Amino acid sequence: MLKKTKNRLLLILCSITSCALGIYIILYNLEQNITFFYPPSKITSALFNQEIRIGGIVKPNSINKLKANEIMFTITDHAQEVKIFYRGMLPALFRENQGIVAQGKLSGDLFMANELLIKHDENYMPPEVAQEFKNK
């Protein structure tokens, strides 16, 4: 009976150890691939010249179109603001008071974005799909 108990205890300890090791490996690999975004109030000088994501609300009356495909605007988290410069096609849902996440590098007091991600609500429907619903 004592030998059965020892074997069972050894089996349980090995199982727990292998599960813990597996979870550690998964979390370690995920940490390298997950990109979190920072709100404007959490931006520090330690983040300069690093590829990061910042997120916030597009401040009203801050959108300034410089050229056909260049834009400068300000995002806020109602505590702090960050000016963003973006060169490229704007997403269709980009507008004032819209939640966005911008990916790029912080350079001085200006964030140079190379990608914009726009948040939409759960009721969003692309225009083509909305038209099909109207026709049915």
Q: What is the largest CA-CA distance in the chain?
A: 82
Take residue 17 and report the two structure tokens written for it. Answer: 């150890």
Take residue 25 and report the two structure tokens written for it. Answer: 């490996």
**What is the per-residue DSSP string for 11-77?**
HHHHHHHHHHHHHHHHHHHHHHH---EE-GGG--GGGTTSEEEEEEEEPTT--EEEETTEEEEEEE-
Measured distance CA(72)–CA(69) in Å, rounded = 10
Measured distance CA(19)–CA(53) in Å, rounded = 33
Annotated binding residue 120: yes
Q: Name the binding residues for heme.
A: 120, 124
* Residues of each annotated binding site: 120, 124
